[in-house]
Amino acid sequence: MDLQLRIADRTWPVLSKLMGGHAHVYRLTRGRIGHHIPGVPPMCLIDHVGAKSGTKRTSPLLYIEDGDNVVIVASKGGEDTHPAWYLNLLSKPEVQVDWRGEGFKPMVASIATAAEKADLWPKIVAAYKGYGGYQKRTERDIPLVFLNAKK
């Protein structure tokens, strides 16, 4: 197993706690701290609603822009299960997203088709090489999610 993936496995419990702190700082500074982290694509905050609990949740996620779309990756570090936020978006696709530190905007999530993913995947891996390793690590097809401005 790749060293980067082994490290990710061991640090996941700590990283999940840090992400909560990251979201808090991002929100307090309106993205001035936390939107750009050296060595990774920019990060956005997504406010979504728990599919089972109905609880509002915030997830800080890496993203790329594709035209007017924000594209996020449901990788969960290459684990064999989808991340909880992805399952929430399947159930309740209406979200609030701060993706440039400009404040939260209403958006709607949709899952990329196989053709859209094939087109975008090289851009995703170019933005963050770890995604390529994550897909090799799992048999699960890692979904891409478009976040589109709500009309």
This prediction's pTM: 0.84
Domains parsed from the chain with CATH numbers: 3-149 (2.30.110.10)
Token representation of residue 89:
């978006």
- List pLDDT tens digits, range 80-117: 999 999 999 999 999 999 987 788 999 999 999 999 99
Distance from C-alpha of 105 to C-alpha of 47, rounded to nearest angstrom: 10
DSSP of 77-93, one letter per residue?
Answer: GG-SS--HHHHHHHH--
Question: Would you give the DSSP letter of residue 76?
Answer: G
Low-confidence ranges of the chain (pLDDT < 70): 1-22, 24, 28, 33
CB burial class (10 A; 0-12, 13-18, 19+) of residue 45? buried
